[in-house]
Amino acid sequence: MRRNGRDQHEAAIAALPIWTGKVRVSRLHGGITNENFVAADEVGRFVVRFGDDIPVHGVMRFNELAAARAAHAAGLSPEVVFASPGVMVSRFLEGRSLAPEDVRDIRYLPRIVNLIRRCHYDVAPRFRGPILAFWVFQVIRSYLEDLRAHGAGVVDRLPALERQAAALEALVGPVTIVFGHNDLLAANIFDDGERLWLIDWDYAGLNSPLFDLANLASNNSFGEEDERSLLAAYFGVEPEANVLQAFAAMKCASLMREALWGAVSEIHSRIAFDYAAYAEDYFARLSTALERVRL
């Protein structure tokens, strides 16, 4: 079945009207939301992403495409050379995605912070058309309802998660709005040997800057000193108590969203991946993080 799916994708790639000469296709492993391939023709190498809208996750491809184009215009992301419904083709980057230990490395921190700040303030002026918002607490509310409706294995946890999410949202308080990437896994930060890039704009949208910072920290196992260094580097001053509280609450929300994403994906996704184990890993991280905010 998987082989047939791959054959269909390879045939669809070969049929795209953008190639010079014969195109060679290989699978790009690692994606857990999209089906990704590398295509090479006589001109160069390209990444081909297959993915339809995923309303349950708030992933809308018109928004992803506009974000990717705006991020390229801002110098943060590779050029999109072709797009049609369900398909996006971008230039291939030579280099490697970062690992969590890279993200925690103090030598990378100023470059990563600069990349995030440029995302927050340089992309929106280049964005064309409507922009989605990514408010993590609304995402959590939607996930909780979906899991209730489908009688998922985590259903017994949902009342407590709902109470915790409401308390965390109150702790975050008023926010500044910027353009966020909203999915700062280490794998979405790419090093070509000279500069860093941001890739994968599935969840991009208007948000608080604290979410990207908390998301980076929660996805890459930052300790408390790492987090203070991150906040000081981003804001240019040592974080005050109210900022630390809002950040800690947003970090919990990021972990909760990631855990629920895994639980919802286990129900809806057709990609071969252990979403249940992914969810449990993040539920364990959430339990530890909640102790800091004493919920």
Q: Which two tokens stand for residue 269?
A: 């996704």
> How deeply is 92 buried, as exposed, middle or buried, from its count of CB atoms within 10 A (0-12, 13-18, 19+)?
middle
**Mean pLDDT of each 10-residue bin along the chain, 295 residues long:** 65 95 90 88 96 96 98 98 97 96 94 98 97 98 96 91 98 96 97 97 98 97 94 96 96 98 93 92 96 82
> How deeply is 256 buried, as exposed, middle or buried, from its count of CB atoms within 10 A (0-12, 13-18, 19+)?
buried
d(CA 70, CA 201): 10
Helix extents (H) in 74-157:
100-104, 109-122, 136-149
Q: Can you list the positions of beta strands (E) in 61-174?
A: 80-84, 87-91, 96-97
Q: Are 282 and 258 in contact (CB under 8 A)?
A: yes
d(CA 81, CA 60): 19
Between helices 209-219 and 241-268, what is the axis angle to 10°? 70
Given this model, what pLDDT does residue 272 score? Answer: 83
pLDDT tens for 28-61 read 876 777 889 999 999 999 999 999 999 999 999 9
pLDDT tens for 215-243 read 999 999 999 999 999 999 999 999 999 99
Q: Taking the chain, what is the end-to-end CA distance rounded to the nearest angstrom? A: 46
In sequence order, the 6+-apart residues with CB closer than 8 A to the CB of 179 are: 119, 120, 121, 123, 124, 127, 131, 204, 205, 206, 207
Domains of the chain (ranges plus CATH)? 2-91 (3.30.200.20), 96-293 (3.90.1200.10)
How many C-beta atoms surround the C-beta of residue 122 within 10 A?
16
Helix (H) or strand (E) holding 164: helix 158-172
Q: Are 133 and 205 in contact (CB under 8 A)?
A: yes
